[in-house]
Amino acid sequence: MTPPNISLHDKQFAPYLSAAQLQATVTALAARLNHDYAGKQPLFVAVLNGSFMFAADLMKQLHIPCEITFIRVASYQGTGSTGKVQEVMGLYEKLTDRHVVLLEDIVDTGHTMRMLLDTLGEHKPASLEVATLFLKPECLQHELELRYIGQEIPNDFIVGYGLDYDGLGRNYPDVYTVI
């Protein structure tokens, strides 16, 4: 059962999207990926930590031969982006001539995605796309072609389903917004 409100650190959060709504979004993305990557054997690169629940649920619904690996980057502090992306854990798989799909929990400023697309693009993949659960279009500071977007949301700070507030809140199956 979804708690009516949750308290994390110094902030209160109210329910925003239910686990059922999130699963419907993931199912729709998986259907598109299954169709678009049929016969291609893509490599999915999940961006940790936030995308772990999204990536796990998405992978369970992919019915194509594929692989997954993980990269960790950080650009958040508290409830806002620092604007600086720091690669924490590297990517060791060969990307040349592979179909690569970055899995991200949320794209807001686009700093992380711009850095990852530029960095991974240097390895000359056959294709390089982004699948993001959430997009905050009014926050976007980079021109990005995002082919797979689960939902566009307003510029509200959200937690749950892998997203956190200073380390807390990732464990909730639903998404909450700050009140």
For residue 77, what is the domain's CATH number? Answer: 3.40.50.2020
Identify whether 108 is a catalytic site residue.
Answer: yes
Whether 76 is in a domain gets the answer: yes
7 part of a folded domain: no
Q: Is residue 170 part of a domain?
A: no
- Residue 3 domain flag: no
Distance CA 38, CA 121 (A): 22
pLDDT in tens, 91-146: 899 999 999 999 999 999 998 899 999 989 999 999 999 999 999 999 999 999 99
Residue 53 located in a structural domain? yes
Question: Which is the catalytic residue, given 57, 108, 164, 174?
Answer: 108
Residue 84 pLDDT > 80: no
Is 11 domain-assigned? no
**Is residue 4 situated within a structural domain?**
no
Number of domains in the chain: 1
Given this model, what pLDDT does residue 41 score?
98
Q: Is residue 87 over pLDDT 80?
A: no
Which range marks the domain in which residue 29 is found?
19-155
Confidence of residue 90 (pLDDT cuts 50, 70, 90): confident
Evaluate whether residue 168 is within a structural domain: no
